[in-house]
Chains A and B, each alone.
Chain A
Amino acid sequence: MTVPWGETRLVQGNEAVALGALASGVRFFGGYPITPSTEIAEILARELPRLGGVFIQMEDEIASISAVMGASLAGAKSMTATSGPGFSLMQEGLGFGCIAEIPFVLVDVMRAGPSTGLPTQVSQGDVMQARWGTHGDHPAVVLAPATVRECFDLTIRAFNLSETFRTPVILLSDEVIGHMRERVTFPRREEVEVIERPVPETPKEWYEHYHPTASNVSPMACYGSGYRFHVTGLTHDRQGFPTRRRDEVNEMMERLKHKVARRLDELVEVKMHDVEHSRVVIFAYGSVVRSAKAAQVMLEKKHRRVGVFRPVTLWPFPDREVKQHLDEKDVIIVPELNQGQLIHEVERLTSDTVRVIPVQRVDGYEITPDEIVAAAMEVM
């Protein structure tokens, strides 16, 4: 299966992720079977050997994320895909990727938890785990697709961001988007930008694996390139050697923070549908966006105007956009497939005069447009 550039196809969400990865030039997939993400592994198991790339099914998810990071350090565009329980097992590795600044893409197709939960049913329970699941302060970049086409586009974007920022990027999909099939018109190849990681031009004896730069991201040599360097999960200096010197510790921690916090314009993406002229706005992400947009149409027929505000980038959270576009509203309805995760971010960023209303489900079923309509009708 090759990327059907410029063509229109009926495609499944997980399939679109695999195609997006192939379009990005993925050359290493390490994973472990878990519902509802497994199609991504199955497609790449078939396609990567045909491209001279590597597919390996590891012995568990910890091994998977470790092998993925090893492959990335050796120069391969690398990824893994998993779901809740596997995502939990990968958390320590995710932190290693953050501190060692290793680019790779982690796809979490969310299912209902906690624990084994409802393995074949949808949830958005991993939103906070995606931000804070690994220990210690760390940057997090998390994207959430709402359509099958976005599964393709955002996988490419995830690779581009991870190579640009030298950090793990999480594609936070969910069971509904992952398993849904819809008509997708693929872009033409020339419409898609694929970014490769910056590589050093410095002489080898001058190379520092963590050289401070204006962007806070250092060009990255790979193992076997003739640049010999050290990588560790310990707090390290510019060369990658362990340090406890306070100035060096602070420099590293500040750099990790600022490489994301000072480039929000490149990272944060929101989509708004009639937000500007509506007093009531639905804040939704992932598959719930579909119900939110259906509710918007249903409410319009009842002569009630609501907007839909959707963060495509969940982390870093679009603080500025929420403050700018939602703080003057009367009501914000936040439908989420969890017991309240991003609603607290919306509350944090809006004044007490704004009513923030939850619509929540954790029984493995989608929030229906009717439920959102009912919540809206109560306040309109």
Chain B
Amino acid sequence: MPAEFPYEHKYLRAKKKFPHVWCPGCGIGIVMGSIIRAVDSLGWSKNEVMVVSGIGCTSRMPVYLDFNTLHTMHGRALAFATGIKLANPELRIIAVMGDGDALAIGGNHIIHSARRNIDITAVIVNNYNYGMTGGQHSPTTPLEKITKTSPYGMVEPEFDICELLKAAGSVFVARGTVYHVIELDGLIRKALEKKGFSVVEAISPCPTNYGRDNRLGDAVRMMESLRDDSVNVAQAARMKPEELAGKIVRGVLADREAPEYTDLYLELCRRVRSSGEVGE
């Protein structure tokens, strides 16, 4: 329904050769749509938006977007983004990563980005596996689930992305799914508006690998599961712990204030320059 998506000529690259790389039934394109709508709703110009990614299915997103875009090395999106933000604090930086990219190989960078509280929005598409390499287990693969590298069932416990990043110091943490698109648009918009290190986890189906390996049904069935197996924070607050078991909790999970790193650094520069102070 093109009429409901009036942004494609404005925000997608005219010169880029489509089609995209994502499989039928993949949710990454939906997350891309949410990012576009969130940016559009804020009225930001394309020149001030910078999208940085690592490696993987999700990290292919920037090439389609008519912003400043950078597709880096596996796991390193946030480290590149840190350099860009400090060199040009005017840029509004969105780092898009998959679960493996952000939390396995990039785990060090994400906790330190959260600790520094640098003004970057991390959008993590969580499909519970490494899709691009054919469906291996990731740090978010739940216990006992089958992947190509856990053929007898996953024996490692998983990370809860949102809990991890709350603990590491993120000032804004939210979770959405690609089924609840309007909600996801809003969560990403709130994250973009938040000064500091903000995180949105977007749960997305991978019917080609994770879904097939665990007999979760086709793409439509997997989308229905996101609807049936998730609750928003208001609903969750009314539920008992045993009712919440196995449910995805959607919504804003942390929202607090803390000084932002780039601001603090620029303030330090101003102080040192005006006082002529020389550090030890």
Contact = CB atoms under 8 A, between A and B. Distances in A.
Contact of A63 (B68, B79, B86): B79
Contacts of A74: 83-84, 87-88, 91
A46 B73 contact: no
B72 A223 contact: no
B109 A59 contact: yes
Given A49-B269, A93-B73, A66 B46 contact: no
B69 A224 contact: no
A72 B46 CA distance: 20
A234 B15 contact: no
Given A70-B82, A224-B48, A241-B17, A46 B72 contact: no
B63 to A, nearest CB: 6
B62 interface: yes
Contacts of B90: 224
B265 interface: yes
B88 A224 contact: yes
Interface string A63-79: 11011111111111010
B125 interface: no
A322 interface: no
A217 to B, nearest CB: 20
Contacts of B279: 45-46, 49
B228 to A, nearest CB: 37
A15 to B, nearest CB: 15
Select the residue from B83, B88, B265 with max chain A CB neighbours within 10 A.
B83
A76 B82 CA distance: 13
Interface in A68-110: 68-76, 78, 92-93, 96
A181 B112 CA distance: 36
A231 B69 contact: yes
B278 A46 contact: yes
A62 interface: yes
A233 B72 contact: yes
B253 interface: no
B80 A242 contact: no
Given A28-B86, A54-B87, A233 B50 contact: no
A60 interface: yes
Contacts of A232: 63, 70-71
Contact of A52 (B15, B62, B88, B269): B269
Contacts of B82: 56, 58, 63, 66-67, 70
B125 to A, nearest CB: 18
A27 interface: yes
Contacts of B165: none
Interface in B45-103: 46-48, 50, 52, 55, 62-63, 66-73, 75-76, 79-88, 90-91
B273 interface: yes
B237 interface: no
Interface in A25-64: 27-28, 30, 45-46, 49-50, 52, 54, 56, 58-60, 62-64
Interface string B177-205: 00000000000000000000000000000
Interface residues of B, number: 44
A30 B85 CA distance: 13
A228 B46 contact: yes
A59 B83 contact: no
B16 interface: yes
A241 B90 CA distance: 25
B273 A242 contact: no
Nearest to B270: A52
A75 B87 contact: yes
B45 to A, nearest CB: 9
A224 B265 contact: no
A58 B55 CA distance: 21
A228 B233 CA distance: 38
Select the residue from B50, B66, B69, B86 with max chain A CB neighbours within 10 A.
B86
Contacts of B269: 49-50, 52
Nearest to A28: B87
A49 B79 contact: no
A225 B268 CA distance: 25
Interface in A224-253: 224, 226, 228-234, 239, 241-242
Given A49-B268, A74-B91, A56 B86 contact: yes
B272 interface: yes
Nearest to A30: B83
B87 A63 contact: no
A209 B91 CA distance: 19
A223 B91 contact: yes
A73 B278 contact: no
Given A56-B86, A60-B108, A66 B70 contact: no
Given A52-B269, A224-B91, A228-B68, A58 B86 contact: no
Nearest to B276: A50
Select the residue from A59, A66, A69 with max chain B CB neighbours within 10 A.
A66
A230 B61 CA distance: 11
A228 B46 CA distance: 8
Interface of A: 27-28, 30, 45-46, 49-50, 52, 54, 56, 58-60, 62-64, 66-76, 78, 92-93, 96, 222-224, 226, 228-234, 239, 241-242
Given A50-B278, A78-B83, 5 more contacts: A66-B80, A70-B52, A70-B70, A70-B84, A232-B70
10 contacts: A59-B108, A59-B109, A60-B108, A66-B80, A67-B82, A71-B86, A74-B88, A75-B87, A231-B71, A233-B71
Interface of B: 13, 15-17, 46-48, 50, 52, 55, 62-63, 66-73, 75-76, 79-88, 90-91, 108-109, 112, 265, 268-269, 272-273, 278-279
Closest 3 CB pairs of A and B: A70-B83, A67-B83, A66-B79
